[in-house]
Structures are given as C-alpha cells and as structure tokens.
Amino acid sequence: MTPLTILLVGGTGSIGRLVARRALADGHTVRVLTRRPASAPAGTEAVAGDLTDASTLAAAVEGIDAVVFTHGAPYQSPKVRDVDYGGVLNVLTAIGDRPVRIALMTAIGVTNRAGGYHDWKRRSERLVRASGHPYTIVRPGWFDCNDDDQHSLHFLQGDRRWAGSPADGVIAREQIADVLVASLTSPGADGKTLELVAERGPAQSDLDPLFAALAPDKGLDGADDTANLPLAGEPADVRADLEAVTDHATRS
C-alpha cells in the first residue's frame, strides 16, 4: 500500500482523532484542518484554516492525496448548512481538478426528510458524487451504543432505517474510523455509499470483500436511496452549486 497524505476535516473531534490514529498507524501522513492548531492530535500536521471560509483553505489542500470528512455541526444546529454542506463545497472548490480521494461521513437515516439537518448532509453527499473525484460515503449508525460482543461490521444500502434512535443500528466510533481510512485504499470502495452498523460477532480484519459487495451509486444519490429529494425542487443556489461542481469535473 502506498502511503497517502490525508487532509482530515474534523480532526479535533472524537471520531476525527480516531481517524488520525488509525491513519498514522497505517503509515499515512495526516494533516488536520483546524482553527486551533494546538488542538490537533499528536503526530499530525496542523494547518490553520476555517472550513466555512474558502479563502483560508489553499495551504490545507496543497499536495494532498485524500480528504476524510468527519466534521459536523451539532444536531439541528442552524450552522449545519454552513458547516456540513458549505464546508464540503469549500474544500472541493479548493481542491479543484487535483486527483484526490474522498471519504465523507454523514449519518444513517440521512434520506429521512425529517428536517433541514438531514437535507443539508444529503446535499453534501451529492456534491461529492458530482465532483468527479473517487469517493466513499459512510453513514454510520449510533455511536458507541453497541454491546461488548457487537462488532461484526455490516455494510447496508438503501437507508431505510429512520427510527431516529439506536434501533436504526449501532457502531463503535473506532470502527467508523477504521472504515473511513480503509476506504481510501480499497478499490471496491470507490463510488459507493453505505450505512455502517455492527451486529453480534467479532470484527472483520479484511474490509475489501464488504466494500466489493456493495452496489455503486447512481447519479447524485446512493444506490437504492429513496427518491424523495428531487433536484428540480431544490433551492436555486443549491442547484447552482451542483452545476458548478459538475462543470468543473467535466472540464478536468
């Protein structure tokens, strides 16, 4: 495996720190985008920048091979548009046509039209799919609600778990990090979206077969996603963002 230089967006959060640890253990170089460089995990390179300010991102994306997004505004925060959606748009714009692999973490149940919070996360997924970059989108279940014997990874598709509780599925934070990092170097992970949960049993050591078994995404949505966010009904500025990202991908 060729070591990568990875930009970690959300690297000072609970999952981001685990991503940094996993990636460093695998021999990758990790660069953390943060407004507070002193808070970056040990062993990483901190780069000062603000995810919501595109003008601060040039240094962060210089020379990278991959981006892992684990960022996110608090649930139902009014900042979800600027952070979860706008942050992805800003980083994609800063990357431009450079060949960069992307791993984006959103959430299980993101296709449930329960409110703007989910919609903005789903729109961030669409930006990544439209960008033309190789990518994997991971929608984890409820963090650290699994039992001690509940570590067997299951990759689901279709996003039909909309209870809004751990009944949707559970997963350890550490395993979310493992899947995100593994997706960057697994050929079977490219162009796929999955819901990530754990069931009874031990964790798998080889994730390639799980990625390979997934169906590829279709257009702007994940494989078998519910078609309940029609592009024609989207706000004009959201459609314009998608067109700009798509046009850039086509030109490159």
For 197-233, write each residue's pLDDT tens digit. 999 999 999 999 999 999 999 899 999 999 999 999 9
- Pick the more confident residue, 249 or 141: 141
Q: What is the pLDDT of residue 75?
A: 84
Tokens 């550490």, located at residue: 174
Residue 252 has pLDDT above 60, yes or no: no
Tell me whether strands 135-140 and 170-171 are parallel, antiparallel or unpaired. unpaired
The mean predicted confidence, pLDDT, of the chain is 95
- Segments of 150-251 assigned E as strands: 152-156, 170-171, 192-199
Q: Using alpha carbons, list the distances in angstroms from residue 217 to 120, 126, 138, 192, 214.
A: 19, 11, 12, 5, 9
* Domain extent for 175: 5-251
How many Cβ atoms from other residues are within 10 Å of residue 229's Cβ? 18
Q: What is the pLDDT of residue 1?
A: 78
Q: What is the pLDDT of residue 246?
A: 87
Identify whether the C-beta of residue 111 lies closer than 8 Å to the C-beta of residue 226.
yes
Residue 77 has pLDDT above 90, yes or no: no
User: Helix-strand-coil percent breakdown of the chain, rounded to 5?
Assistant: 35, 20, 40
CATH number of residue 159's parent domain = 3.40.50.720
- Count Cβ neighbours within 10 Å for each residue of 147-176 and write b for 16 or more, e otherwise: eeebbebbbbbebebbeeeeebbbbbbebb
- pTM over cut 0.95: yes
Identify whether the C-beta of residue 145 lies closer than 8 Å to the C-beta of residue 170.
yes
Q: What is the pLDDT of residue 116?
A: 84
**Whole-number Å distance between alpha carbons of 22 and 54:** 28
Domain count, the chain: 1
Q: What is the pLDDT of residue 113?
A: 87
For 155-201, write each residue's pLDDT tens digit. 999 999 999 999 999 999 999 999 999 999 999 999 999 999 999 99
pLDDT band at 250 (very low <50, low <70, confident <90, very high): low
For 18-71, write each residue's pLDDT tens digit. 999 999 999 999 999 999 999 999 999 999 999 999 999 999 999 999 999 999
